[in-house]
Structure 1
Amino acid sequence: MSGHSSKPPVGALPDTTVESPFVPVALTWLAWSLFAVSVAVLLAKVGFGGAWEIPGLIAIDGLTVLMWVVVTFFSGIVHSYSRRYMAGSTHKTRFFVAVFGFTATVLALVAADHVALFGFLWMAMGLVMAELIGTIEGWKQAQAAKAVARKYFLASSVLLGVALTALWWTTGATTISGISAATDTLGGPAWLLAAGLLVLAAMIQSALIPFHKWLLSSMTAPTPASALMHAGFVNAGGILLVRFAPVITVDSTLMLGVVAVGAMSAGGGKLLKSVQTDIKGKLGCSTVGQMGFMIMQAGLGFFGAAITHLILHGFYKAYQFLSSGEQVEHTSPSETTEHTLGLGTNAVEFLVALLTGLGGGVVFTMLTGKGESVGSGLLLTFFVVFTTLHAARSAVHHTSLPTLARYGAVPLVFFPAIVVYAVVYEGVSDLLAVSTATTDLTLLHGAIAVSFVGIYVAIETGIHEHSQRLYVALLNATQPPSDTLLTSTEDYNEY
């Protein structure tokens, strides 16, 4: 195949505790040490509070220490996993240096207060991630994917640089904290330019539609790098909007636009996922949708919910990528292959899921107070109900338990999960220095809610599969640039 001669297998994987090079071992221990230190710093911040900063350069607030804990935890997992995954690879040491370099860059980014330092670290973060995507130098598809990602990340950095320059020009402040303190001076064309470019930079980094192609072409990255990307890197868009929340919340119309672009990706990601056949492709489209939800929560003014979402999604997606090999099934297609669940297959299943979703919404409202009045909090509660219903529906349908036990177990599992989510949300909101900026509901908010119900019903009943035109359009939208597509395994066999 492809003119390559087959080489003998490399044999059994080495014992990583004995034969690992020094650099991977040292960086793995260092990553876990940083996690331990981050936990200690978080506890100290919660216990003692106060302002920790180097004036004009860095500022360590609640968001900083929270992200330090999350990032170092994921990094420690990826480092440990990679010692086995990359065993025998000629790129092992370079891969570990890049992973740790990415970790260090993100840790510095969330602490940066000076706008020039923040912009520089934002660009460095993207360039290091592009290197991880193109880890295997001799694989032309990986290098093509690296080039695609680098173009997107550099574009995001340029947009952010212009936005930061406009904010400096408007406020005269050279720090993020200074800009936040000068919100009363924001407004006019310069503010609108800066705010719009901040949103665009966040959309690119978080792979929202129509900027999702770099993420779908990044499957050439080693699986642990993909886990770090989907659990950490794409969250940068949400962190950017939280950092500059005082800029974004100046005008309710702009926030409505943020909700709209987030909703487009949240629903679009779900549709794109429905036509994917490979595991990592499905996970990539899922990330597009989940990042849409995160951005939408920021647009609703619930920045604590956005950070909570990115943390919980990070845990879920890291696990999904690192265990993706276990999900591969070798099956043959047939005329009777069932592609969708179908709402009408079992009315009792759907009723149990519906009641579980509504009950979850009630629990969330009781614990957080969101949804008690007509406002953006009501839409946030709606999405909690919607997400719980969808997850409960899938669990009821797929769980291999006796019927009565299955119906009874789903509420018993999901209600405590909602309690945990609400508690984490309240804790994160208290830790952040950003206040909630709720807005009134509009017709657009209602249209978004209706569209989500329509997309859910279409996918569950398989309506979208009956239109060849729609199916082809969705399939084309999931295709990365052609030069990043895998052709033959010999093209990336580094042994």
Structure 2
Amino acid sequence: MSGQSSKPTVGALPDTTVESPFVPVVLTWLVWSLFTASVAVLIARVRFDGVWEIPGLVAIDGLTVLMWVVVTFFSGIVHSYSRRYMAGSTHKTRFFIAVFGFTVTVMALVAADHVALFGFLWMAMGLVMAELIGVIEGWKQAQAAKTVARKYFLASSVLLGVALTALWWTTGATTISGISAATDTLGGPVWLLAAGILVLAAMIQSALIPFHTWLLTSMTAPTPASALMHAGFVNAGGILLVRFAQVITVNSTLMLAVVAVGAASACGGKLLKSVQTDIKGKLGCSTVGQMGFMIMQAGLGFFGAAITHLILHGFYKAYQFLSSGEQIEHKSPSETTEHTIGDMTSAVGFVVALLTGLAGGVVFTVLTGKGAHVDSGLLLTFFVVFTTLHAARSAVQHTSLPTLVRYVAVPLVFFPAIIIYAVVYEGVSDLLAVSTATTELTLLHGIIAVSFVGVYVAIETGIHEHSQRLYVALLNVTQPSSNTLLNSPEDYNEY
């Protein structure tokens, strides 16, 4: 009726006066204190080299202190953001306790040296994240998503337990540092089983294809929990491979397999993202692809690049999730609606992006030395060129500036960014003290490079959209478990 409007409701607002904000305030203050302390420890670690340890139990090295800074920073952002986001929720205290518990668990995990302690904390980390996914007890969909995630995380924990047991059996060492020091004794079927299972556990935790279902099912989690998950939790796969780098690099064939599974997920994530229509779905598929890149860099032997990637991706994805509400826009379909992802009509724009990418690769090679020889470093540099080209192309297409200004501004913006990336990469590599394990280029490396170019061109030109069979297949692969879908406004009522 004209002049009148109605607003559907999904339940009464809770009485926020019955619950004190004491717990969120204290935990937020505490996690920022942990961040400050972590920065101080990082500075001390840079100045005073070496490993601080409790022999046989804990070893605090460069990776430990770096991850402490990263994890506490992201957690601090999530804590601060959630004080407003979760205001009025009956599950606020439980949510904050779970987020803080997750933070402390990850901090302990990256410091653990004893294999039993590492395995226990790995499982605890997964179980706490499952609790965050299902933190809204009144939603059956959230509880179903929690169950799905917990099954995957327990499977990853069991696999990790088998791998750690096999490595202990082979080397006789009960610590990660002891196993790394005994790589000369590694070999044979037991080692191969352990190394393969380590990779499998990392794939599950990082939601690589075909284990990405738990990630796309987890959208029932509160947005801050999703930010923490995509910026932190999924990085555990990369951290696992870096921790056991000496085990993974024993055999070049195994490293090639790691590159292959990472590349498959990187390409697949890009394709899956192209059929998504909701913001969080797109971000989830993007994470699947980015984790593929991270695992692939580890397989190429550049563990510093893998850690650098997970840090930068964490900043990007945390921002994207926490600002996802600003990207919601209502549009009505029309006969003139364009369905192609990109536009290749601007030849000048493409040339500018291509030259920017190539020049970026040269800058990266000069600063890091990677790509100067015919080995796996050449493929790493190729991905720097490819990523720069793609980002420059997007900037040329979507930046609301005059055409000529865009063509000049894009190189001026991206060259400093590549320099910063190269400097961060070198700094992270020095801090990790993990030797680079470059391998010879093979036919598979060439196939991977060609595949990336093919997928990029297909999406940019919209060729993939002309195949209904491909579209349906991609859409089916991205479907979460049916019992986790929210189908009506009443499903959103947590009260």
Q: Following the alignment from structure 1 to structure 2, what is the Cα–Cα distance between the partners of residues 201 and 247? A: 14
Q: Which amino acid aligns with 2:374?
A: V
In the other structure, the counterpart of 1:312 is: 312
> What secondary structure does 2:333 align onto?
coil
- Give the CA deviation at 1:492: 2.6
User: Which residue of structure 1 aligns with residue 168 of structure 2?
Assistant: 168
Question: Is 1:137 aligned with 2:137?
Answer: yes
C-alpha deviation, 1:8, in angstroms = 6.7
Q: Name the counterpart of 1:102.
A: 102
CA distance in 1, matches of 2:423, 2:303: 15
Residue 227 of structure 1 corresponds to which residue in structure 2?
227
Residue 107 and residue 452 in structure 1: after superposition, are their counterparts in 2 closer, same or farther (change >3 A)?
A: same
Aligned-residue offset at 1:20: 5.7
Q: TM-score, normalised by structure 2?
A: 0.97
Offset at residue 354 of structure 1 (A)? 0.5
Q: Secondary structure at 1:49's aligned position in 2?
A: coil
Tell me what 1:327 maps to.
327
CA distance in 1, matches of 2:20, 2:288: 35
The Cα offsets for residues 56-107 of structure 1, whole Å up to 9 and x where unpaired, read as 0000000000000000000000000000000000000000000000000000
Q: Which residue of 1 aligns with 2:4?
A: none
Determine the structure 2 residue equivalent to 1:443.
443
The separation in 2 between residues aligned to 1:284 and 1:342, in whole angstroms, is 21
In structure 1, distance between residues paired with 2:22 and 2:179: 44
1:408 partner amino acid = V
Q: Structure 1, residues 139-162: CA drift from partner, whole Å, max 9, x if none?
A: 011000000000000000000000
Instruction: Kindly state the Cα deviation for residue 7 of structure 1 after the two structures are TM-superposed.
Output: 5.7
Map 1:217-366 to 2 at 5 A: 217-366=217-366
Residues 1:21 and 2:21 aligned together? yes
1:342-491 equivalent positions in 2, closer than 5 A: 342-491=342-491
TM-score by length of 1: 0.97
Contact 2:56 2:113 in 1 (8 A): yes
Local SS of the residue matching 1:59: strand
Other structure's SS at 1:234 match: helix
Q: Note the residue ranges of structure 1 that are not aligned, 5 or more in a row.
A: none
Instruction: Say if 1:348 and 1:114 are closer, same or farther in 2 by CA, change over 3 A.
Output: same
CA distance in 1, matches of 2:222, 2:329: 20
Q: Distance in 2 between matches of 1:54 and 1:325?
A: 45
Tell me the distance in 1 between the aligned counterparts of 2:274 and 2:421.
Answer: 26
Checking the alignment, whether the CA contact within 8 Å between 2:11 and 2:493 is kept in structure 1 is: no
Contact 1:269 1:288 in 2 (8 A): yes
- Offset, 1:21: 1.2
Matched-pair contact (CA < 8 Å) for 1:138–1:492: no
When residues 171 and 162 of structure 1 are mapped into structure 2, their CA distance, relative to the original with a 3 A threshold, is same
State whether residues 235 and 291 of structure 1, in contact with CA within 8 Å, keep that contact through their aligned partners in structure 2.
yes
Deviations 1:379-400 (A, max 9, x none): 0000000000001000100000
Show the counterpart of 2:197: 197
Q: CA deviation at 1:128?
A: 0.2
| Large movers: runs of 4+ above 6 Å | none
Structure 2 CA distance for aligned equivalents of residues 84 and 145 of structure 1: 24
Query: Contact 2:308–2:425 at 8 Å: present in 1 too?
Result: yes
Mapped partners of 1:461, 1:8: distance in 2: 46
Q: Give the match for residue 213 of structure 2.
A: 213
Q: Which runs of 5+ in 2 are unaligned?
A: 1-7
Structure-2 separation of matches of 1:33 and 1:6: 40
SS at match of 2:106: helix
Contact between 1:356 and 1:411, CA under 8 Å: does it hold in 2? yes
Conservation of the 8 A alpha-carbon contact between 2:10 and 2:489: no
How far residue 489 of structure 1 moved from its aligned partner, in angstroms, is: 2.3
CA distance in structure 1 between the aligned counterparts of 2:333 and 2:170, rounded to whole angstroms: 60
Give, in whole Å, the separation in 2 of the partners of 1:393 and 1:27.
Answer: 43
**Is the Cα–Cα contact under 8 Å of residues 343 and 350 in structure 1 kept in the other structure?**
no
Equivalent residue for 1:35? 35
Structure-2 separation of matches of 1:293 and 1:6: 43
Match of 1:67 in 2: 67
1:340 Cα offset (Å): 2.8
Does structure 2 conserve the Cα–Cα contact (< 8 Å) formed by 1:20 and 1:83?
Answer: no
Once residues 365 and 55 of structure 1 are traced to their aligned partners in structure 2, the CA distance between those partners, rounded to angstroms, is: 40
The question of 1:150 aligning with 2:150 is answered yes
How many residues in Structure 1 have an aligned counterpart in Structure 2?
487
Q: Distance in 1 between matches of 2:74 and 2:313?
A: 12
Quick one: structure 1 residues 14 and 400, their matched pair in 2 at CA, closer, same or farther if it must change by over 3 Å?
A: farther
The sequence identity of aligned pairs, in percent, is 88
**Preserved CA contact (<8 Å) 1:298 1:306:** yes
* C-alpha deviation, 1:487, in angstroms: 1.1
CA drift of 1:344 comes to 2.9
Contact 1:20-1:87 within 8 A present in 2 as well: no
CA distance in 1, matches of 2:180, 2:402: 56
- C-alpha displacement of 1:343: 4.6
Letter in 1 for 2:451: S
Residue of structure 2 in register with 1:120 after alignment: 120
The CA RMSD measured in Å over matched residues stands at 1.4
Following the alignment from structure 1 to structure 2, what is the Cα–Cα distance between the partners of residues 356 and 338? 28
SS of alignment partner, residue 59 of structure 2: strand
Q: Secondary structure at the match of 1:435?
A: coil
SS of 1:217's partner is helix
**In the TM superposition, what is the alpha-carbon distance from 1:333 to its structure 2 partner?**
1.5
Evaluate the alpha carbon distance shift between residue 343 and residue 446 of structure 1 in structure 2; reply closer, same or farther with a 3 A threshold. farther
Partner-residue secondary structure (3-state), 1:494: coil
Give the secondary-structure state (helix, strand or coil) at the position aligned to 2:438.
Answer: coil
